[in-house]
Structure 1
Amino acid sequence: MKAIIGTGISACAHASLNLEADFYDKARFPGGRMSSKPFEGKFFADIGATYFKNSVEIQKDGRIYKRSLVDWLKSKGIQAKTYSLDGNSSMSFCETGMQSIAERLLSNKTVHFRKELKKIYKTENDKTSKFQLEFTDGSQGFYDEVVITAPLPQAIELLPEGEIQNIWKEFTSPYNHYRKTLVACGYWKNLNSKTYLELLNLENKSFLRKGNDAEYISIESSKLINIDNVSQQNREFSIRNQKASPFDSEQIKDSGIVIMIQFSEKFSESYFGRWKSSSGEPTDTCYEQFNLQINKFFTGLPSPDRVRSHQWKYAQAENSMLGKTGILNLEHKNFKDYQAIVKNSGIALTGDWIYGPRIERIFMGEIERISI
């Protein structure tokens, strides 16, 4: 029997293969870096991964294969939509939020939430060698294999002390640096229709701005809206009443907007301890910085009705074994050495430190790894 620690991207790859396993997560909901923050009604913001590419190229068995995450999800009953990210039409997303992918894939699995792993011990007897999992609530579990999807600094501390921990610590040391990322999301409940449609009709809805404090900005609510239909409504309204503004306040009834900002590594390091209160609510600093950055980018936008915040201590591994872009080479010597350690130890540490931060690389790479 296998235990999988975490319910994020890597764990969902295992879940999609219908392998027998128990899943554990210290959080209340699944998703990990695919988590979403809800607002009123249908509105939400993806606070980690927001989009993914259709496919990734994987090298194994002397050949290069193209593996489509969109097609894989479709085979599991999950529909992805394409979207333009700074003019790139190959990006995809889930209109019910990235977290819903995890919820769907884990829906028929044994998942234990609010279950934080404290330590793994190796127990041996004459017949079998198993791992004892000890949780912070005092409960225990016994398994033949363990998969840990947590960031490396956390994963290493969970391992059995001695040979297993030392081997993994030495092997993963080149990949153990992570960047922090602060996130803030604003919800505007009833923008005036002129401002609402100006935002909605922007050519791009997501903006990658390297070198700026607000490194990535996404109009998350645009995922919920059929842009073509709205544009057609604008045209029809103008034709019917040429004297009236196409931004008339009576035209658009549902004018909620959600905008998410992911901040740069430098900014996140500076403000990391001042972003969330002890109760988990955004601090005054978070409110001030969010409004400041929003108005630098969307001039004249009023303060949002609500702000939600998040802080990723281990947002992404900076030096991934197989790189962040390009072909995933599963014939790479380091990857073969990794597979040997997994086989010999009975424990697999996995995640973006192997495949890079992109969802399609982690998801399809882990599926291929399991099948080798």
Structure 2
Amino acid sequence: MKTAIIGSGITGAVLAREIQDSIVFEKDLDIGGRTSTNEFSERERFDPFSTFFSDKISYSGTNNSKEEFSLLSYLAKNEIDVECILSTFSSNHYYPKNGMKEMIKKILSKNQIFLSHKLLDISRNPQTNQWVCSFQNGKELGFDRVILTPPLPKSLACLKSSKCMSEWEDFISPFVEYKASTILVGIWKGLSNETNRKLADLHESTFFRKNEDAEYISIESSKFKESEDSLIVMIQFGQSFSSRNLERWVTSNNSPTRFAKITGESFFQKFFISKGFSELKDQPPLELFAFKKRYAAPDRSLWKKEDLHLSSELFLKYIELGRKHGIWLAGDWVFGARISRCALGATTLASQL
């Protein structure tokens, strides 16, 4: 059966790898979605959204048996050569050495991908009984089934011409909530030898900031080792902060506002002082990037924080609804905002088609 997969994040990539005769459509100019990597230059880059992943997660099998999924094992089993480095703050957290986008690119290496294809609508062709996907660029293509991985509100909007929208909307409506996040990235160049020595001694890459505005702070340049003369620091702010400051800090085209440029430096200063980089506390970044994103909260996805349960009434209803219409809603809104959960959900969904 010919399958359209909408979205090229981790869910879409694994689905495409698992499903024969599938085509991936991505609305942006590059693959990855929120598992993307921004390249500042040939030597400097950073992951603005997903900076690491948990390797092993548990789930309940079809006979209520306790099972375990490992993303690293999945990559190895499928001969997907991605060099991943163990983080220093957890024995179960890793990050791809060359960035998240490189991992997605290698998972999708055998698949056909169409970029700059924003899906607008899905409707049934009564003559062929196929689903017709209408894209913003004017193309209309027919498929036997369609899997949508974008955020649920966007996916549901594409089903407005479909009779199955009301059923999916009723099923999924309790979970259509999101977290808002503001991300600030500062880049410093031409560091002194003393600062470089301190960076070399700083083995941690991510610092969790509980009960503060910053959800976590990540030194991206400690991950990308070739950036030896630069420092890339990323701050992801928590939901309460973002709800107050999303529009004040980030413009509609994901650029830092003037307010963010002035105020954001105080967060970098606090971090530098706490880590002993006194020489940087009054030095503004050479480049400043800002991002905003909305994603499913782990406790608001279809399976919440619980294990994926393949025998649960909820999962069986989800499978039944997809099979009935030939349309599936997937992604982090369904499986949870964790890379390994999305990969597990994608392999599970593919096995049920």
Partner of 2:244, secondary structure, is helix
Residue 316 of structure 1, CA deviation: 4.4
* TM-score (normalised: structure 2): 0.91
For 1:286-312, what per-residue CA distance to the aligned partner results, in whole angstroms no more than 9, with x for missing partners? 222331111112123221111122111
Corresponding residue number in structure 2 for 1:189: 189
Corresponding residue number in structure 2 for 1:57: 58
Residue 160 of structure 1, CA deviation: 4.2
Percent identical residues: 29
Q: Is the 8 A contact 2:16 2:24 kept in 1?
A: no
Corresponding residue number in structure 1 for 2:335: 355
For 1:234-269, what per-residue CA distance to the aligned partner results, in whole angstroms no more than 9, with x for missing partners? xxxxxxxxxxxxxxxxxxx93211111111112212
Corresponding residue number in structure 2 for 1:68: 70
Corresponding residue number in structure 1 for 2:129: 129
Are residue 288 (structure 1) and residue 269 (structure 2) matched?
Answer: no
For 1:297-335, what per-residue CA distance to the aligned partner results, in whole angstroms no more than 9, with x for missing partners? 2123221111122111336465122123x5321222111
Residue 281 of structure 1, CA deviation: 3.2
Residue 116 of structure 1, CA deviation: 0.8
2:201 & 2:146 partners in 1: Cα distance?
A: 48
> Which of 73, 97, 102 is equivalent to 1:95?
97
Q: How many residues align?
A: 341
Residue 169 of structure 1, CA deviation: 0.6
1:10 & 1:352 partners in 2: Cα distance?
A: 8
2:177 & 2:298 partners in 1: Cα distance?
A: 6
For 1:49-69, what per-residue CA distance to the aligned partner results, in whole angstroms no more than 9, with x for missing partners? 111112122221212222210
Counterpart mapping for 1:101-140 below 5 A: 101-125=103-127, 128-140=128-140
Residue 138 of structure 1, CA deviation: 1.6
Residue 204 of structure 1, CA deviation: 2.4
In the superposition, relative to structure 1, how do residues 30 and 315 fare at CA in structure 2: closer, same or farther (>3 Å)? Answer: farther
1:42 & 1:303 partners in 2: Cα distance?
A: 21
Corresponding residue number in structure 1 for 2:349: 369
Residue type of the alignment partner of 1:58: Y
Which stretch has the larger CA shift, 216-225 or 326-335?
326-335
Counterpart mapping for 1:103-252 below 5 A: 103-125=105-127, 128-161=128-161, 163-225=163-225
Residue type of the alignment partner of 2:351: S
2:44 & 2:297 partners in 1: Cα distance?
A: 26
Corresponding residue number in structure 2 for 1:46: 47
Residue type of the alignment partner of 1:120: I
Partner of 1:58, secondary structure, is strand
For 1:1-55, what per-residue CA distance to the aligned partner results, in whole angstroms no more than 9, with x for missing partners? 1111100011011122252211111111111110112112222111111111121
For 1:66-88, what per-residue CA distance to the aligned partner results, in whole angstroms no more than 9, with x for missing partners? 22101212332222221122xx1
* TM-score (normalised: structure 1): 0.86
Which protein shows a greater Rg? 1
Partner of 2:88, secondary structure, is strand
Residue 162 of structure 1, CA deviation: 5.3
2:205 & 2:222 partners in 1: Cα distance?
A: 7
Corresponding residue number in structure 1 for 2:88: 84
Q: Is the 8 A contact 1:178 1:318 kept in 2?
A: no
> Which of 235, 240, 244 is equivalent to 1:266?
240
2:85 & 2:192 partners in 1: Cα distance?
A: 28
Residue 153 of structure 1, CA deviation: 0.9
For 1:164-191, what per-residue CA distance to the aligned partner results, in whole angstroms no more than 9, with x for missing partners? 0100111001110001111111111111
Partner of 1:84, secondary structure, is coil
1:222 & 1:10 partners in 2: Cα distance?
A: 27
1:76 & 1:153 partners in 2: Cα distance?
A: 32
For 1:96-149, what per-residue CA distance to the aligned partner results, in whole angstroms no more than 9, with x for missing partners? 101111112223322111111111111212xx4111111112221111100000
In the superposition, relative to structure 1, how do residues 281 and 353 fare at CA in structure 2: closer, same or farther (>3 Å)? Answer: closer
Corresponding residue number in structure 2 for 1:320: 301
1:316 & 1:69 partners in 2: Cα distance?
A: 21
Segments of 5+ residues of structure 1 without an aligned counterpart are 227-252
Partner of 1:129, secondary structure, is coil
1:308 & 1:346 partners in 2: Cα distance?
A: 40
Q: Is the 8 A contact 2:19 2:350 kept in 1?
A: no
Counterpart mapping for 1:327-342 below 5 A: 327-342=307-322
1:319 & 1:21 partners in 2: Cα distance?
A: 29
2:118 & 2:144 partners in 1: Cα distance?
A: 19
Q: Is the 8 A contact 1:27 1:114 kept in 2?
A: yes
